[in-house]
Amino acid sequence: MPDAKIKLMQITHDLAIGGLQQVVVNICRSINREKFDVSVLCLRALGEFVPEVEKLGVRVFYLPQKEKGTDYFSFLKVARILRQEQIDVIHTHNTQPFVDGTLGALLSGVKTIVHTDHARDFPDKTRYMVAEHLMSYFAYRVIGVSEHTTANLVHYEKISPRKIMTIENGLDGSRFQIEIDRPAKRKELGIKGSGPIIGLGVRLTEQKGITYLLQAMPEIIKAVPDVTLVIAGDGTLKNKLRHEAETLGIKEHILFLGSRLDVPQLLKLFDIYVLPSLWEGLPMVLLEAMAARCPIVATDVGGVSNMITDGKNGILVEPENPRRLANEIVTLLTNSELRQRLVENGARKFNADFTADRMTKKYEKLYQRMA
């Protein structure tokens, strides 16, 4: 008689478009289904990735929120679901899932708790750091997505080095190895002419430093007049960034697309992917760009240098420096040989270190510790 499958539940805020959520989706896609019965619990909302996860045959549970105020007893609802589904292992992602998931697991007899921190700007709020420190006593392992994140967890949250380890993010590269009709895609998006396209796809928040890319655009336009910047994503800064583009007089060169599910196609359209973040863990968007063979310019923050070696498989610049950002983007736009060298090296780096299979196998070892 074959061994019973390990019942694994991943607990997240939601399955909206974002790097953390992509890790959840990639684990669902690449986990060994002969050994694991995997499900997902969303604590705040559902999100755009739900249909994709359900298509994989993974059940998605949702914990509706109170209409007003914070539900300080949501961990009781989590415990009920864990008990009903007879879950063996939970894998939580970021603070609220760590707290509610761990308390729910303790009440329902879950055997193993694995937690992943997807990086923040440390020091975080004191109450969050204290809560995570306390929860870490009950976790089997706490994971940082980069050595930088792991070091922050030890330094700021005083999590025991014996409990903590690094597992770098990974994704399914086959989704990005596609061919597209570039002229047709340009037409669909309303991009006129045939000039180069700079692009990025992120949440429009302070963290992503998009204001510095907008400030770099006048210099870029001066050197490459027919350039277009495509910004895919939504967020709290959407209106502010639109206004800034207007104030800078570059509105005609900027295209705000909102949230998109056609990221692989967009990456095949972009001539350069630019990520001007102020802080990061190990950003999934750069892995996507590497897998899609799109040249990268990024800020040297967090775990980015774990992925990108300056001048070898991408270009790194210091954050909050529009002039340097503009110079490096123009250099790359006007040097096709350099772009080609970066994408070849980037594809090799991705295949060696950042596939979903590689990441998931490391997590599977943690999930199986009771076996």
* Domain region containing 232: 173-353
Report the pLDDT value the prediction gives residue 2, as an integer from 0 to 100.
58
Specify the higher pLDDT residue, 2 or 78.
Answer: 78
363 in the same domain as 336: no
166 in the same domain as 105: yes
271 in the same domain as 145: no
What does the DSSP 8-state code read for residue 2? P
For the chain, what is the domain count? 2
Query: How many Å apart are CA 285 and CA 225, to the nearest integer?
Result: 27
Confidence bin at 120 (pLDDT 50/70/90): confident
In-domain check, residue 1: no
Is residue 84 over pLDDT 90? yes
117 in the same domain as 266: no
Q: Which residues contact 247 (CB under 8 A, 6 or more apart)?
A: none
Query: How many Å apart are CA 30 and CA 140, to the nearest integer?
Result: 22
Report the pLDDT value the prediction gives residue 73, as an integer from 0 to 100.
87
Is residue 370 over pLDDT 90? no
Query: How many Å apart are CA 344 and CA 106, to the nearest integer?
Result: 48
Confidence bin at 64 (pLDDT 50/70/90): confident
146 in the same domain as 186: no
97 in the same domain as 67: yes
Among 92, 25, 70, CA closest to 287: 25
Query: How many Å apart are CA 257 and CA 191, to the nearest integer?
Result: 11
Q: What is the mean pLDDT of the chain?
A: 94
59 in the same domain as 158: yes
197 in the same domain as 158: no
185 in the same domain as 130: no
Q: Which residues contact 220 (CB under 8 A, 6 or more apart)?
A: 198, 227, 326, 329, 330, 333
Is residue 113 over pLDDT 80? yes
Domain containing 144 — which CATH number? 3.40.50.2000
In-domain check, residue 221: yes
348 in the same domain as 359: no
181 in the same domain as 137: no
**Quick one: what percent of the chain has pLDDT higher than 90?**
91
Per-residue pLDDT tens digits for 303-355: 999 999 999 999 999 999 999 999 999 999 999 999 999 999 999 999 999 99
Alpha helices in 111-193 (DSSP H): 126-136, 147-157, 182-189
3-state secondary structure of 301: coil
Per-residue pLDDT tens digits for 182-200: 999 999 999 988 899 999 9
**Quick one: what percent of the chain has pLDDT higher than 70?**
98
Q: For the residues 210-226, what does the mean pLDDT come to?
A: 97
Per-residue pLDDT tens digits for 10-55: 999 999 988 899 999 999 999 999 999 999 999 999 999 999 999 9
Is residue 72 over pLDDT 80? no
